[in-house]
Chains A and B, each alone.
Chain A
Amino acid sequence: MLKHAGLIAFGFVMLYPLLWMVASSFKPNALIFREPGLIPTDIDLSNYTDGWNALLHPFSHYLINSAIVVLGSLLGNLLSCSLAAYAFARLEFRGKRLWFAVMLMSIMLPIHVVIVPQYVLFSQLEWINTFLPLIVPKLLATDAFFIFLMVQFFRGIPRELDEAATIDGANHLRIYLQIMLPLSLPALATTAIFTFIWTWNDFFSQLIFLTRPEMYTVPIALRTFVDSTGESSWGSLFAMSIVSLIPVFIAFLFGQKYLVKGIATTGIK
């Protein structure tokens, strides 16, 4: 009993900053600096309306931009990583071990080692200030982590199924489409949720590739908001921060099972 009390108290302290941010987003600015408590003495929705319209574009504009990047990344990762994973899990080809090792190493590669030449490449293609530098790499399976995740999953699917299909005359494309993908929904769901959350939260590459205000995604818009308002309007800054966290929170609520399984089996964040 004592232990439960301790665990609950600790959880409460951990989440307190978040809860307080939610509460503060409904408080007039002056109160944010005076009230460490959670219950607002005065509820005020103007932080949300002010924040929504505080930047050059209404906040919905940035939400849509982020949604486009997320959607493109999602489709890219699901398709390209599952294709590559099928080859590593089910096909025999020359140099397979080597390529597999290369793929694993690329998971650990810091983005900083490639970002400068990528920037040069994308600016020559005139892709800066478009969403292409953020989406096209995903279509090319550069998030190798998900290849690994799906290889692990594909290996667990009984080979008897492919063999039966081969006898019935199915080729690899059909086995991939009609056996592997339908049986791999948990792995695809894990990939989808992590891609969603990571892309939504991603700051570094979006900061580099998107510099025109109409192309800003949510993180970049928020950062601009901090710079432009400074310390004066924490209320609306909090309000928009919460708006930006809601999609992640929803993904967390509905995808918990896959998230926990995904981290537990592969050790990602």
Chain B
Amino acid sequence: MSVIQEISRSKQNVSPRRKGDGRWALFFLAPWFVGLALITAGPMGASLYLSFTDYDLLSPAQWVGLENYTRMFDDPRFLNSLAVTFTYVFVSVPLQLAAALGLALLLDKGMRGLALYRSVYYLPSLLGGSVAIAILWRQIFGADGLVNQVLALFGVQGQGWVSHPDYALGTLMALNVWTFGAPMVIFLAGLRQIPQMYYEAASIDGASRFRQFRSITLPLLTPIIFFNLVLQLIEAFQSFTRAFVVSGGNGGPSDSTLLYTLYLYLKGFGSLDMGYASAMAWFLLLIIGGMTVVNFLASKYWVFYDD
């Protein structure tokens, strides 16, 4: 069903059929092979190499060994952007998934208007990554923005949320939580796959609704929770547009919204420190990869596979 299950099961993908469609395979895969070599794998190797060099696009790359990597950990802006990103990811993703799961549970199977609710809650996920929504966010949480106008109705004097270092990142997290619709749709699909007879059997045994949730729904949903968690974490680490637009492209105020990829962009394409940007990219891959591996290892202890 999902990419993740597919990866863990890819050993089984042998289809018993005649051998030797080699030439045809070459024909069908030709575009993909070229893309893999020139657009993906080649540049990957090249950026690994560049990460050990000093490179500014104009003059040839100079080998500097591990200097970019050691520089990263002496760079207060880098360390700050790392902290900002971790805060953003590990606060907003759990909240987003909690909202997604909560709403999915409220939207019972076969309830009236399910499709409509699902659409309404899903819409922000489709729009949330756009520049237009980031612009909207910047106004809403601005000094004269919608939020403060509403607060004023209750006699509360708000402040410029996006221009205050303590709150600016919070507005970006709010935007991430706002896009809970996509994981919610995945939860809904997962809930639908739980056989109704489990609940019937449990009711006959006199299990309460809460007990049914704890002993049936939650365990059977853990693979989906896991899947959503892995996916949303990977995605959140790469958030860029909202930080760029809300901060006006510099990660401000006081670097409080300097997400990792924004700093990478500023280094690589702002100050043309492309060796450093490549090292940052590889370190990002390391973080995301490491986190995903840890997730998979930890999943043994809490994810329940029925089959």
For residue A16, give the distance in angstroms from its CB to the closest CB of chain B: 8
Residue B213 at the chain A interface, CB threshold 8 Å: no
Please tell me if the beta carbons of A264 and B185 are within 8 angstroms of each other in the complex.
yes
Please tell me if the beta carbons of A15 and B123 are within 8 angstroms of each other in the complex.
yes
Residues of A within 8 A of B20 (CB): 92-93
Residues of B within 8 A of A238 (CB): 135-136, 139
Q: Among residues 94 to 153 in chain B, which have CB atoms less than 8 Å away from a CB atom of chain A?
A: 103, 106-107, 112-113, 117-127, 129-133, 135-140, 142, 144, 146, 149-150, 153
Given A92-B19, A172-B24, A197-B126, CB of A80 within 8 Å of CB of B32:
yes
Total chain A interface residues with beta-carbon distance under 8 A: 101
Residues of B within 8 A of A17 (CB): 136-137, 140, 146
Given A15-B120, A267-B186, CB of A245 within 8 Å of CB of B21:
no
Residue A58 at the chain B interface, CB threshold 8 Å: no
Chain B 174-213 interface 0/1 with A at a Cβ cutoff of 8 Å (1 = within) = 0000110010011011000000000000000000000000
Q: Which of A80, A123, A222 contacts B135 (CB 8 A)?
A: A222
Residues of A within 8 A of B34 (CB): 140
Residue A63 at the chain B interface, CB threshold 8 Å: no
Residue B220 at the chain A interface, CB threshold 8 Å: no
Please tell me if the beta carbons of A137 and B39 are within 8 angstroms of each other in the complex.
yes
A contact patch SS: helix
Please tell me if the beta carbons of B277 and A116 are within 8 angstroms of each other in the complex.
yes
Given A15-B120, A265-B1, CB of A113 within 8 Å of CB of B281:
yes
**How far, in whole Å, are A235 and B27 apart by their CA atoms in the complex?**
53
For residue A80, give the distance in angstroms from its CB to the closest CB of chain B: 4
Please tell me if the beta carbons of B127 and A248 are within 8 angstroms of each other in the complex.
yes
Residue A161 at the chain B interface, CB threshold 8 Å: no
For residue A184, give the distance in angstroms from its CB to the closest CB of chain B: 14
Residue A56 at the chain B interface, CB threshold 8 Å: no
B contact patch SS: helix
Please tell me if the beta carbons of A91 and B117 are within 8 angstroms of each other in the complex.
no
Residue A33 at the chain B interface, CB threshold 8 Å: yes
Residues of B within 8 A of A179 (CB): none
Residue B295 at the chain A interface, CB threshold 8 Å: no
Residues of B within 8 A of A197 (CB): 126
**How far, in whole Å, are A119 and B131 apart by their CA atoms in the complex?**
22
Given A117-B50, A244-B132, A267-B231, CB of A109 within 8 Å of CB of B40:
yes
Please tell me if the beta carbons of B39 and A142 are within 8 angstroms of each other in the complex.
yes
Please tell me if the beta carbons of B3 and A245 are within 8 angstroms of each other in the complex.
no
Please tell me if the beta carbons of B120 and A11 are within 8 angstroms of each other in the complex.
yes
For residue A175, give the distance in angstroms from its CB to the closest CB of chain B: 10
Binds A, one of B6-14, B62-70, B76-84: B6-14
Residue of A whose beta carbon sits closest to that of B20? A92
Total chain B interface residues with beta-carbon distance under 8 A: 107
Residue of A whose beta carbon sits closest to that of B124? A14
Residue of B whose beta carbon sits closest to that of A80? B31
Residues of B within 8 A of A201 (CB): 127, 129-131
Q: Among residues 239 to 257 in chain A, which have CB atoms less than 8 Å away from a CB atom of chain B?
A: 241-242, 244-245, 248-249, 252, 256
Chain B 139-171 interface 0/1 with A at a Cβ cutoff of 8 Å (1 = within) = 110101010011001000000000000000000
For residue A226, give the distance in angstroms from its CB to the closest CB of chain B: 6
Residue B271 at the chain A interface, CB threshold 8 Å: no
Please tell me if the beta carbons of A231 and B142 are within 8 angstroms of each other in the complex.
yes
**How far, in whole Å, are A92 and B265 apart by their CA atoms in the complex?**
42
Chain B residues packing against A (C-beta within 8 Å): 1-4, 6-7, 10-11, 13-15, 17-22, 24-32, 34-36, 38-40, 42-44, 46-47, 50, 57, 103, 106-107, 112-113, 117-127, 129-133, 135-140, 142, 144, 146, 149-150, 153, 178-179, 182, 185-186, 188-189, 227-228, 231, 234-235, 237-238, 240-241, 244-245, 248-249, 261, 264-265, 268-269, 274, 277-278, 280-282, 284-285, 288, 292
Q: List 11 A-B contacts (CB under 8 A).
A: A93-B22, A113-B44, A114-B39, A116-B278, A120-B57, A139-B35, A142-B40, A172-B27, A201-B127, A248-B127, A260-B122
Chain A residues packing against B (C-beta within 8 Å): 3-4, 7, 10-11, 14-15, 17-18, 20-21, 32-36, 79-80, 83-84, 86-87, 90-94, 96-97, 99-121, 123, 137, 139-142, 144-145, 147-148, 159, 171-173, 176, 197, 200-201, 203-204, 207-208, 218-219, 222-223, 226-227, 231, 234, 237-238, 241-242, 244-245, 248-249, 252, 256, 259-260, 263-269
The 8 closest A-B pairs by CB, nearest first: A140-B35, A264-B189, A241-B132, A117-B46, A117-B43, A93-B25, A87-B28, A114-B43
